[in-house]
Amino acid sequence: MTADTEQNIRVRIAPSPTGDPHVGTAYIGLINFLCARQRNGKFVLRIEDTDRTRFVSTSEQMIFEALRWLGLSWDEGPDVGGPYGPYRQSERTEIYREHADLLLASGSAYRCFCTPEELEAVRRQQMAARLPARYPGTCRRLSVSEVEANLSAARPFVIRMKVPGSGSTTFRDELRGAITFEHTNVDDQVLIKSDGFPTYHLANVVDDYLMRITDVIRAEEWISSTPKHVLLYQAFGWPVPRFWHMPLLRNVDKSKISKRKNPVSLVYYRQAGYLPEAMLNFLGLMGGGMPADINNATEKFTLEDMMQHFDIRNIRPAGPVFDLTKLRWLNGEYLRALSPQAFYGALRSTILSDHYLSRIAGLVQTRMETLGQFGDLTNFFFAENVLPPPEVFLPKKRSIEETLAFAAEQLATLEATEWTAEALEPALKQMGDAKGWSVKENFMLLRAILTGSTMSPPLLESMVIFGKARTLDRLRRFLDAQKKTAGHRK
RNA sequence: GGCGCCAUGGUGUAACUGGUUAACACGCCGCCCUCUCAAGGCGGAGAGUUCGGGUUCGAUCCCCGAUGGCGCUACCA
């Protein structure tokens, strides 16, 4: 932070519980954590669960666990409390409603009665006419009596912010300098959805103010909506915090990092046997931030080193590729640096834990005649990858194309299903039915992809023990590998 | 399409406020060590800094433009 703004800073991360904890959350979390610790500030964890359609109930707990695994501890949050709670946005709806009313009263916002269908139609027209897709402002021009009429007719509505028709908003990004947006390019954002929940834009501004956040350190994808946020701060008459937009982590092809192309779940990295030290170190490499002498000399540093030497102002704004190859090398370095006892300890606490082993044992006891067969029956649980040849995975009456298409369906189904045998079984069967695949074909294909063989312990139970993150990764790798060989065949 | 951000080898970074044979790490290749594979040691290829202008005695670095990449463009965050 700049020298003239010495103060007790307050920063936050605000993950959304919509699935597995994401490496991007860890990256932004790390930087926020470092800034807070370096300045004797506070690091707040806030759960942004305002989207009830994407809400995943197990997600919040997984986020906690992943951040603890990495050692990024927070001072205030839903689990530890704090003076500015609650820290879960779903528990703050009343606050947002009050603030939306304030905006309504001051004329900075208005009710919009347009239906999603109407909006969609307008959007399509605008796209067709190659115009920027924007809210046409229909309800902005509603008279008081028209609004009253709609209200008494109990028509559902959203609350939109009223962006000035002309002029522009300029804000300062601490890494990039001044950024200006013409108001003609800023849409009348929805602030309160028809279900009464706020959108990110309202909730984040209200909470950041109420929680006394001084520095908003978040991902670059938020730059385009920052003018909306600034306008909201102004409408409320609040001071604007400092904004630091961090570069977006990228896939190898430079697109924004995504599960399609890269494992992004922290659960995956943990279960696959990456050490938190290596992950932290690797994330610290992303975008720079460590001084050149240290960076140049070793590239290997600890969280402690980062607290000591990291400087957010050194972050380069270009999006770094999250390069698994280098992460793996780094992880190997950390593994080799362990004492033999510590190394064995790491194995025993993860990939060979009693918990994991005993659950696997429970699957194979009836299938063994000698204990020595254990390895043969369960090796897929311990292999980093298995790649079955077509002789193994291809059903007799199916073409390679339809099989791969079906495997992609399986992936989608698995992705969307709660990770228990009870939930997975009907979900898979139902999907297979719909696609005209027998249960046998269906399960056998999955078995082959997951275990590399047509013989294995019970499939669903195996998947549950192996874990969602790793199972999905294995499916994706399979699909990728097949896509590549298909490319070669052509 | 519109708006915004970004731009150093394949990848991650470095090069003090303009002056270096553009450095380090990963990866790749070769050699050594060695029963194998790793690890380790040694060496090598690979960018003249996206391109074009400008400012300057001198630009990776400053300015302008182009190009490319990415993001946003939701009653998702």
Looking at domain A354-489, its CATH architecture is: Orthogonal Bundle (1.10)
**Per-domain residue ranges of chain A:** 3-78+250-330, 92-240, 354-489
CA distances from A100 to A95, A206, A297, A318 (A): 9, 10, 53, 36
In one letter, which amino acid is A132? P
In one letter, which amino acid is A169? T
Judging by beta carbons within 10 Å of its beta carbon (0-12, 13-18, 19+), is residue A451 exposed, middle or buried?
A: buried
Check whether residue A295 has its CB closer than 7 Å to nucleic acid strand B.
yes
Q: Please tell me which residue in A256, A259, A483, A484 is annotated as part of the active site.
A: A259
Instruction: Give the residue among A301, A192, A316 at the shortest CA–CA distance from A247.
Output: A316
pLDDT at A137: 86
* A89 and A52 Cβ atoms separated by less than 8 Å: no
The bases of strand B with some atom under 7 A from any protein CB are 1-8, 10-15, 23-27, 39-40, 69-77
pLDDT, block means (10 residues), chain A with 490 residues:
62 96 97 95 97 93 97 97 94 96 95 90 82 86 90 92 93 94 94 95 97 97 96 97 96 91 94 96 93 68 94 94 96 96 95 96 96 95 92 94 95 94 96 96 97 95 96 93 70
Q: Which nucleotide is nearest to A327 (CA to C1')?
A: B26
For the record, the structure tokens of A438 come out as 């027998």
- For residues A177 and A470, give the distance between their C-alpha atoms in angstroms, rounded to a whole number: 41
Judge if A3-78+250-330 and A354-489 fold alike in CATH terms: no
For the record, the structure tokens of A2 come out as 């700049």
> Which residues are CB-neighbours of A150 under 8 A, at least 6 positions away?
A111, A113, A142, A157
Residues in a beta bridge with A161: A109
DSSP string computed for A406-451: HHHHHHHHHHTS-SSHHHHHHHHHHHHHHHT--HHHHHHHHHHHHH
What is the complex's ipTM, to 2 decimals?
Answer: 0.94
Which of the 40-99 residues on chain A come under 7 Å of nucleic strand B at their beta carbon?
A: 48, 50-51, 53-54
Q: Separation of CA A324 and C1' B55 in angstroms?
A: 43
Check whether residue A200 has its CB closer than 7 Å to nucleic acid strand B.
yes
pLDDT at A485: 77
pLDDT at A1: 45
* A13 and A25 Cβ atoms separated by less than 8 Å: yes
Let me know if A259 is a catalytic residue: yes
When the candidates are 3.90.800.10, 3.30.390.50, 1.10.8.60, 1.10.287.130, the CATH number that belongs to A92-240 is 3.90.800.10
Check whether residue A123 has its CB closer than 7 Å to nucleic acid strand B.
yes
* A111 and A158 Cβ atoms separated by less than 8 Å: yes
Residues in a beta bridge with A426: none
Judging by beta carbons within 10 Å of its beta carbon (0-12, 13-18, 19+), is residue A117 exposed, middle or buried?
A: exposed
**On the CB side of A142, how many CA atoms lie within 13 Å of its CA?**
23
Q: Which residue has the tokens 């279960």?
A: A271
Class of domain A3-78+250-330: alpha beta
- For residues A233 and A243, give the distance between their C-alpha atoms in angstroms, rounded to a whole number: 13
Q: Which nucleotide is nearest to A314 (CA to C1')?
A: B13
**Proportion of chain A in helix, strand, coil states, percent, rounded to 5:** 55, 10, 35
Handedness of CA A68, A70, A72, A77 (dihedral sign): negative
- For residues A210 and A142, give the distance between their C-alpha atoms in angstroms, rounded to a whole number: 32
- For residues A65 and A478, give the distance between their C-alpha atoms in angstroms, rounded to a whole number: 29
Q: How far is CA A185 from the centre of its chain?
A: 27
pLDDT at A4: 41
Check whether residue A158 has its CB closer than 7 Å to nucleic acid strand B.
yes
Check whether residue A236 has its CB closer than 7 Å to nucleic acid strand B.
no
Residues in a beta bridge with A192: A159, A198
